[in-house]
Amino acid sequence: MSGPYEDKTLICIDCQTGFVFTAAEQKFHSEKGFRNEPRRCPPCRQKRRSQFPGAGVKHKTPCAGCGVEAEVPFVPRLDKPVYCRTCFDKLKGPGPGP
């Protein structure tokens, strides 16, 4: 998904309804590094998210690498180190290319 971007119609995998994936949304997806187009329309995405209570809850914990307060989407365990995004990316190294 690289520019120039144009609106396109996609089909939702849940309700089989067409929805528009706008040029602005495509640009946003590209800037965030998302590689896949959305598979669900906005109402079905919202419905799916509401089925997972507590989704999006962040837990604060100190980074094991630099000590800065990191927010993570899981309850940290005392026996496992937790890293902020910067330290995690350094440890992980370069990922697969596009």
C-beta atoms surrounding 44 within 10 Å: 17
pTM of this structure: 0.52
- Residue (of 85, 60, 86) closest to 73 by Cα position: 60
d(CA 54, CA 28): 25
Three-state secondary structure call for residue 19: strand
**What are the angstrom distances between the C-alpha of 44 and each of 12, 24, 50, 64, 70?**
8, 20, 10, 38, 31
Give residue 10's pLDDT.
97
Render pLDDT for 58-81 as a digit per residue (tens, 0 to 9). 889 999 999 999 988 888 988 999
Render pLDDT for 6-50 as a digit per residue (tens, 0 to 9). 999 999 999 999 999 999 999 999 998 999 999 999 999 989 887
